[in-house]
Amino acid sequence: MSVLIYAENQNGKFPKSALEAVSYGAEVAAMMGTDAIAITCGSINGDGGLGNAGASNVWVANAPTSDSQLMGKLIVAAAAKANANVIIFSHDVAGKMVAPRVAARLDAGLVPGATALPGADFVVRKNVFSGKAIADVAIHTTNKVITVLPNSLGVKNTGATAAVEAFAFDAGASRITVKEVKSENKDGEIPLPEAELVVSAGRGMKGPEHWGPIEELAKILGATTACSRPVSDIGWRPHHEHVGQTGVTIRPNLYIAVGISGAIQHLAGVNGSKIIVVINKDPEAPFFKAADYGIVGDAFEVLPKIIEAAKAFKAAH
């Protein structure tokens, strides 16, 4: 018996979401009195830090990560070798792609987007209704699959190093051909779902040419930029920046919303944020009800003051 975790390797580096999944798996393994085995693809440096996140072993395989079917086969083969009946993924792109295939193959109940460790009888907490409510979901099957919501539980560092070995796997031919990979994020910018700091703006900015202060504040703070749905719909900002019920769901430590009224659909995508700052010239904007800090005022007068203070703060820290 053991717990198997799939850790997504992004060009030799493990994103925080992968470390969080490993850490979650290690805690489940500790609860069950067993080991946490991580499996990954591609080349890694040492144990890639997965031992520090709680894995006792790291298996490195060669498989096409763009093909959910072959990746599913890989994870099922690794689970058989590890004698694992609990399999953990991050609730990221890879998890959404591969975890359901593994669950269907192993006839396993799957809880997607867990926000807490399993309780007694394997009841797992997750967000539902786009973050407007919480559900406790019981898994009834012997085999269990869980995907862990990024930015929910953090990583418990153990200081340990994992044993690394190759995992022999013959993937076979893929039915999916990758033609092109386009990177959306500017160099060094953290993708929205993983971002701890987010500066976001909406129609209150009056036009795409006025985004300068938003980008400047984000740059000073090391934050990722986001926007509301109307702004991405009219093409002021790219679609991948749209946070909300039908866009990206985020859970940063800090969410600064400028010129966004706070429609219920927008709140659904951001209400997992730990601290919310709302800047809006309309004191009746519904977003203030969900905010921790609010500034009623014109964005073009307020932002320069905040930018100046942020520059001074960064210079001093």
Partner 1 sequence: MKILVCISKAPDTTSKIAFTDGGSKFDENGVQFIVNPYDEWYALVRALELKETIGGTVTILSVGGTDYEPIIRKALAIGADEAVRIDAAESDSLYVAKQIAAYANGKGFDIIFCGKETINFNGSIVPGMVAELLDLPFVSLANKLNVNGNTATIEREVAGGEEVIEVNTPFVVSAAKGMAEQRIPNMRGIMAARTKPLEVVPAAAAEAATSVKSYSLPPAKSGCKYIDAENAGSLIQLLHEEAKAI
Site for partner 1 in 19-78 (CB under 8 A): 66-69, 72
Q: What are residue 280's DSSP bridge partners?
A: 296
Closest approach of partner 1 to the CB of residue 301, in Å: 7
Residue 13 touches partner 1, criterion: CB under 8 A: no
Which one among 80, 163, 178, 234 touches partner 1, defined by CB under 8 A? 178
Task: Identify which of 270, 298, 278 has the alpha carbon closest to the alpha carbon of residue 195.
Answer: 270
Which one among 63, 139, 164, 260 touches partner 1, defined by CB under 8 A? 139
Cβ neighbour number for residue 198 with a 10 Å cutoff: 26
Residue 96 touches partner 1, criterion: CB under 8 A: yes
Say if residues 49 and 14 touch (Cβ distance below 8 Å). yes
Closest approach of partner 1 to the CB of residue 253, in Å: 5
Task: Give the footprint of partner 1 on residues 242-281 (CB under 8 A).
Answer: 242, 245-247, 249, 253-254, 264-265, 268, 271, 274-279
Whether the CA torsion 316, 226, 115, 133 is positive or negative: it is: positive
Tell me which stretch binds partner 1 (CB under 8 A): 38-46, 54-62, 207-215, 235-243.
235-243
Interatomic CA distance for residues 308 and 189, integer angstroms: 22
Interatomic CA distance for residues 138 and 286, integer angstroms: 35
Residue 110 touches partner 1, criterion: CB under 8 A: yes
Phi, psi of 84, rounded to the nearest 5 degrees: -95, 135
Considering beta carbons, is residue 56 or 111 the nearer one to partner 1? 111
Considering beta carbons, is residue 107 or 209 the nearer one to partner 1? 107
Q: How many CA atoms lie within 13 A of 113 on its CB side?
A: 16
Tell me which stretch binds partner 1 (CB under 8 A): 38-46, 48-56, 160-168, 293-301.
293-301
Task: Report the interhelical angle of 93-105 vs 68-82 (nearest 10°).
Answer: 60
Considering beta carbons, is residue 55 or 279 the nearer one to partner 1? 279
Phi, psi of 172, rounded to the nearest 5 degrees: 80, -175
**3-class DSSP state for residue 79?**
helix
Tell me which stretch binds partner 1 (CB under 8 A): 33-41, 163-171, 199-207, 239-247.
239-247
End-to-end CA distance of the chain: 48
Binding mask 205-224 for partner 1 (x = CB under 8 A): ----------------x---
Interatomic CA distance for residues 38 and 8, integer angstroms: 10
Considering beta carbons, is residue 35 or 114 the nearer one to partner 1? 114
Say if residues 34 and 84 touch (Cβ distance below 8 Å). no
Interatomic CA distance for residues 248 and 89, integer angstroms: 19
Considering beta carbons, is residue 4 or 299 the nearer one to partner 1? 299
Considering beta carbons, is residue 35 or 241 the nearer one to partner 1? 241
Closest approach of partner 1 to the CB of residue 239, in Å: 5
Considering beta carbons, is residue 159 or 182 the nearer one to partner 1? 182
Considering beta carbons, is residue 34 or 68 the nearer one to partner 1? 68
